[in-house]
């Protein structure tokens, strides 16, 4: 039982990081980025190629990939999304659906659909604190995820830029009137969301099978998290991520391995119907 809880929390923290990236973007721009899963996938492959080609440990190469993904995110916003957003929420949703398909299949084309794994020499055996098996890469990932999320929290609450982002998230018009360059903030926020996704991907890579269409499953889980926690709420996404991790972990043990993915979706539907604002946040338009 404790084993399940621990696994759940560890995985959940990584889900949370992915969810935070998505929710932050929604909060500021009111767009649901369906390509978010692909950004995680790119991070995962970044870790893989970093190790395979340059012998870089993923937990080191994360320092390279995170800023790179930040840049990629900003470019995607500036040159692709910025023109689409005025067309409305649904158009943007469809556009990101197209983008998602494009990135996933380009990856499929270039890197083939073969399943890849990352094998780290120090990660062969799990640690066993108090008799609970904890895979080392997951533990390190958990630690770094907490660090990164903590840094994000600090950034959002203590820096001027962070506050500008939160202001825009609450009320874009008021923020604009107060001199906030909303387009620039949106671009930075999208970069931030992408960086978080990419970083989560790098951290997840040693613990999951890599294949180009993994984004599909990840984005589905991401929705569950983000809706559970309330679209736009960072703390909600964190809570939602950990909760999903726990639900899946416990569900696999106590309900059935087969239906464990279903549980997440059923909860998702229930939350959407009965508490659309999630545990915190905004929803029905």
Partner 1 sequence: MRRAVAAGTIGVVLAIPFLTTNQFLVHLGITVLMWTVLGTAWNLLGGYAGQVSFGHATFFGVGAYTMMILYLKLGLAPWYGMVLGGIVGALVSLPIGLICFRLRGPYFSLATLAVAEIVRLVALNWEALTSGPVGLLITTLPQVSVGSRSVNWESKVPFYYLVAILAVGAMLATYGFSRSRLGAYLLAIREDEDTAESIGIDTVRAKVTTLAFSAFLAGVAGGFYGMYFRYVDPDAVFPIALSVEMVFIAVVGGLATVAGPIIGAIFLVTVSELFRERFLVGHLIFYGLCMMLAIRYLPEGIWGGIRRAFTTYVAAKRS
Which residues lie near partner 1 (CB under 8 A)?
32, 80, 83-84, 87, 89-91, 93-95, 97-106, 108-109, 112-113, 216, 220, 223-224, 227, 256, 258-259, 261-262, 265-266, 268-269, 272-273, 276, 283-285
Euclidean distance between CA atoms 188 and 193, whole angstroms:
9
- Closest to partner 1 by CB, 156 vs 225, is 225
CB of 231 to partner 1, least distance (A): 9
Alpha-helix residue ranges (DSSP H) falling in the chain: 2-29, 36-54, 58-76, 89-111, 136-158, 160-170, 172-177, 182-204, 214-229, 234-254, 260-274
CB of 281 to partner 1, least distance (A): 12
CB 201 within 8 A of CB 41: yes
- Closest to partner 1 by CB, 60 vs 101, is 101
- Give the N- to C-terminal CA distance of the chain in Å, as an integer: 40
- Closest to partner 1 by CB, 97 vs 136, is 97
CB of 89 to partner 1, least distance (A): 5
Non-local (6+) Cβ contacts of 84 within 8 A are: 91, 92, 95
CB of 85 to partner 1, least distance (A): 11
Q: What are phi and psi of 167, to 5 degrees?
A: -65, -45
- Closest to partner 1 by CB, 154 vs 259, is 259
Cα torsion for 88, 93, 97, 103, to the nearest 10°? 80
CB 67 within 8 A of CB 202: no
- Closest to partner 1 by CB, 106 vs 174, is 106
- Closest to partner 1 by CB, 104 vs 167, is 104
C-alpha distances out from residue 84 to 76, 78, 93, 94, 230, Å: 11, 10, 10, 10, 24
CB of 28 to partner 1, least distance (A): 15
- Closest to partner 1 by CB, 88 vs 150, is 88
CB of 232 to partner 1, least distance (A): 13
Euclidean distance between CA atoms 163 and 156, whole angstroms:
6
Classify residue 116 by its DSSP letter: B
CB of 103 to partner 1, least distance (A): 8
- Closest to partner 1 by CB, 83 vs 178, is 83
CB of 181 to partner 1, least distance (A): 24
CB 219 within 8 A of CB 107: no
């Amino acid at each position: 039982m404790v084993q399940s809880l621990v696994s759940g929390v560890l995985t959940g923290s990584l889900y949370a990081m992915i969810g935070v990236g998505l929710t932050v973007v929604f909060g500021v721009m009111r767009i649901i980025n369906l390509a978010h899963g692909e950004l995680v996938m790119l991070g995962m492959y970044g870790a893989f190629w970093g190790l395979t080609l340059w012998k870089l440990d993923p937990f080191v190469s994360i320092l390279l990939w995170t800023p790179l993904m930040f840049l990629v995110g900003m470019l995607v916003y500036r040159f692709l999304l910025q023109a689409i957003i005025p067309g409305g929420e649904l158009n943007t949703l469809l556009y990101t659906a197209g983008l998602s398909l494009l990135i996933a299949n380009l990856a499929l084309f270039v890197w083939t659909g073969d399943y890849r794994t990352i094998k780290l020499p120090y990660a062969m055996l799990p640690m066993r604190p108090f008799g609970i098996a904890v895979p080392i890469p997951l533990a390190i990932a958990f630690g770094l995820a907490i660090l990164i999320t903590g840094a994000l929290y600090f950034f959002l609450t203590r820096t001027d830029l962070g506050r500008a982002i939160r202001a825009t998230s609450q009320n874009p018009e008021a923020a604009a009137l107060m001199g906030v360059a909303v387009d620039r903030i949106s671009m930075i926020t999208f970069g931030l969301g992408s960086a978080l996704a990419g970083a989560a991907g790098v951290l997840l890579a040693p613990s999951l099978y890599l294949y180009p269409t993994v984004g599909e499953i990840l984005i589905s889980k991401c929705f569950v998290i983000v809706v559970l926690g309330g679209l736009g709420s960072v703390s909600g996404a964190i809570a939602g991520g950990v909760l999903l991790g726990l639900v899946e972990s416990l569900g696999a043990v106590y309900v059935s391995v087969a239906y464990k993915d279903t549980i997440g979706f059923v909860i998702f539907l229930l939350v959407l119907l009965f508490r659309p604002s999630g545990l915190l946040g905004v929803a029905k338009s």
